[in-house]
Structure 1
């Protein structure tokens, strides 16, 4: 009968609320639905596993919120980049990584005074199970192109804002982000392919590490919608497969304008933000896989 568990952390001020929501947004949490009522609002963040633990004796951490991760150093680096993005030093806000007596590594972060969170991972990450190779969420040193359609600009402009927000929060430099505007979703794939074709290898002249595609198709009353969507999806997928450059898919396919608005940041998160996060992770994963191949072949 139990479905889930939620930890509610009150924010004393609107600024505290915004800082905490911003902090957790860059660490890889899946955004929840949250709420926004007359008397209160809530920013929700989801994790695959939730535990309620009762402790008898010494607490394992200085805080009652412990967040298990699989790549502790990468999470700590993302937290450091968040503080730097706020124009703040990390001294006193992020602790060094420490070993525990329960065979784990842990650090604490305090994005707002009085709100301390602990992040930890097992010292033996395998613990009898195979571990996956995953991308990190730090965009520092990466180069991106964003191809955004102008059609349905009330939606695509919000998607573009979300994508830029994700990249900059994750450490990307403004000079390393190229924005290309095309008339509509139909033209997105062609522009993405042109950009990918000038990037035969990572690091080449004019190259990018990933391309983020943004657009919006609303069904209406004709089959025109499905014909365009199928070709746009095919073109973006083909460009990615044939060039090897990651393409993040942020082209919305919606039944109504209201549904599109919800997916552009009103209720269901911002799909432009999510596409940018996926692009960052795929670039990181690509580099890890290539490094592994090179090290094994050496």
Structure 2
């Protein structure tokens, strides 16, 4: 079974080895276990991922050692500063290239270190321009709400909070392309009544998603936890039974100040976040169903 891969390159001197090792460690490599005996020494530099690429026919016009990075421009600046500290300024221009686009949807720069092996050591640093590069293939939702229908269930209790949550949710769906005619708002007395209204709306099959908004403050009621548990269970059960996504925007806070922070004052707006989650879940469901029908 394959466990790992090691690429061994000769450096001209111990000083060159140490200098390059310090540079690569500063860029994000991890220090591995080195070795030393009477014939020489080595430094192990570990990267999170290693690849072995085999080529037949035309050899690609890339350096033999390619290092994939995040933040290519910052890496280039760090390498340039290291080069200026170790080589004459007039040499750096010929040894270090600028980041340039490649034909394989990425950007790349190279650096040649003369004190490597006989022909020098050439490193290529590159970054993919594909935002999904390296990620497992997955179905992900889009954030366009055009053509989607939403019901928003909001509690009147603690209206100073829930009204802010409602405005955040409306901002989220409208900004994402939903038409006002496709959004229906239902007000219920308190958080306890949210699951019942949400289920009725979901069972009507008129909506692609239900957005639930409410606020429970621990200091206002002795049965805070019991209410929250039932509200969360009821919303979740409605979602499971009907198959209609329910976005959870019910705040559970210790104080009014905490609730205000989560309703748009300091910590974002939970109503907006719930709306975005609802849009994404509708998109995911549509993609899954489209895949099933096309298979």
Question: 1:6-50 deviations in whole A, cap 9, x for unaligned?
Answer: xxxxxxxxxxxxxxxxxxxxxxxxxxxxxxxxxxxxxxxxxxx96
Query: What does 1:250-289 correspond to in 2, within 5 Å?
Result: 250-289=249-288
CA gap 1:50/1:239 in 2 versus in 1, 3 angstroms: farther
C-alpha distance in structure 1 between counterparts of 2:217 and 2:231, whole Å: 14
CA gap 1:53/1:170 in 2 versus in 1, 3 angstroms: farther
SS at match of 1:139: coil
SS at match of 1:133: coil
Over alpha carbons, which structure has the higher Rg? 2
C-alpha distance in structure 1 between counterparts of 2:208 and 2:98, whole Å: 47
C-alpha distance in structure 2 between counterparts of 1:241 and 1:281, whole Å: 17
TM superposition shift of 1:221: 6.2
Question: 1:45-80 deviations in whole A, cap 9, x for unaligned?
Answer: xxxx9633326545557xxxxxxxxxxxxxxxxxxx
Question: 1:140-184 deviations in whole A, cap 9, x for unaligned?
Answer: 110100000011000000000000001111111111000111111
Is the contact between residue 253 and residue 259 of structure 2 (CA under 8 Å) also seen in structure 1? yes
Corresponding residue of 1:53: 75
RMSD: 2.4
Query: What does 1:103-118 correspond to in 2, within 5 Å?
Result: 103=105
C-alpha distance in structure 1 between counterparts of 2:100 and 2:190, whole Å: 54
The reply to whether residue 161 of structure 1 matches residue 160 of structure 2 is no
C-alpha distance in structure 1 between counterparts of 2:143 and 2:233, whole Å: 27
* TM-score using structure 1 length: 0.59
The reply to whether residue 101 of structure 1 matches residue 124 of structure 2 is no
C-alpha distance in structure 2 between counterparts of 1:50 and 1:144, whole Å: 38
C-alpha distance in structure 2 between counterparts of 1:271 and 1:282, whole Å: 16
- Where structure 2 has 5 or more consecutive residues not aligned to the other structure, the ranges are 1-25, 27-68, 78-95, 108-127
CA gap 1:157/1:120 in 2 versus in 1, 3 angstroms: farther
Corresponding residue of 2:139: 133
SS at match of 1:214: strand
1:171 equivalent among 145, 167, 177: 177
C-alpha distance in structure 2 between counterparts of 1:233 and 1:283, whole Å: 20
CA gap 1:50/1:175 in 2 versus in 1, 3 angstroms: farther
TM superposition shift of 1:277: 0.2
Corresponding residue of 2:215: 216
The reply to whether residue 190 of structure 1 matches residue 203 of structure 2 is no
SS at match of 2:164: helix
* TM-score using structure 2 length: 0.59
Query: What does 1:30-109 correspond to in 2, within 5 Å?
Result: 51=71, 52-54=74-76, 57-60=97-100, 101-103=103-105
CA gap 1:173/1:133 in 2 versus in 1, 3 angstroms: same
C-alpha distance in structure 1 between counterparts of 2:160 and 2:280, whole Å: 28
